[in-house]
Amino acid sequence: MDQQLHQRSLSGCHINTEENPLNTQRLSDLNASRESEANNKKTRRKRAHSLIEKRSRENLNLKFLELEKTLTHRRSSSKTKNLTPDKTPQRMKRAAILDHAHNTILELEVEVQSLKQKIQTLREIAFPDTCKFTLHVD
């Protein structure tokens, strides 16, 4: 029905819509425009994702540098060897930083336990009568 109305409205004009090169060009332009739009959306999404990933990598690298500085500062204050040379590949350096951080945490936990024990010993020496009734919370 719609096609008949369309044909009738064009019957006054001597234009055959099926064979008109202008109409086929318009259709191909429209299709190309739609494809281009879809490609632009994909490209924009890819760029946005790339920027998010880049920001995340930069943030992670910054955190590794901060951790390395903290560990290096702690090592230099305790007079031990340096962490890793700067010529080490990034992944190896990261692994070394994480390994050193893990070891440092374990050392600090041992140190905390030792200090707690020293505090308890000093309390018992300084206040021998009161320590008998003190509850210990660890």
What is the per-residue pLDDT for 87?
A: 61
Q: What does the DSSP assignment read for 80-129? A: ---S--TTS-HHHHHHHHHHHHHHHHHHHHHHHHHHHHHHHHHHHHH-TT
Contact between residue 119 and residue 131 where contact means Cβ atoms under 8 Å apart: no
**Domain layout of the chain by residue ranges:** 22-83, 85-138
* pLDDT string in tens for the chain (138-residue length): 555 555 555 555 554 545 566 677 777 887 888 888 888 888 999 999 999 999 999 999 999 999 999 988 887 776 544 445 556 677 779 999 999 999 999 999 999 999 999 999 998 888 887 766 555 665
Largest separation between any pair of C-alpha atoms in the chain: 117
Using a cut of 0.75, tell me whether the model's pTM lies above it: no
Distance CA 138, CA 135 (A): 10
User: Which tokens go with 62?
Assistant: 């910054």
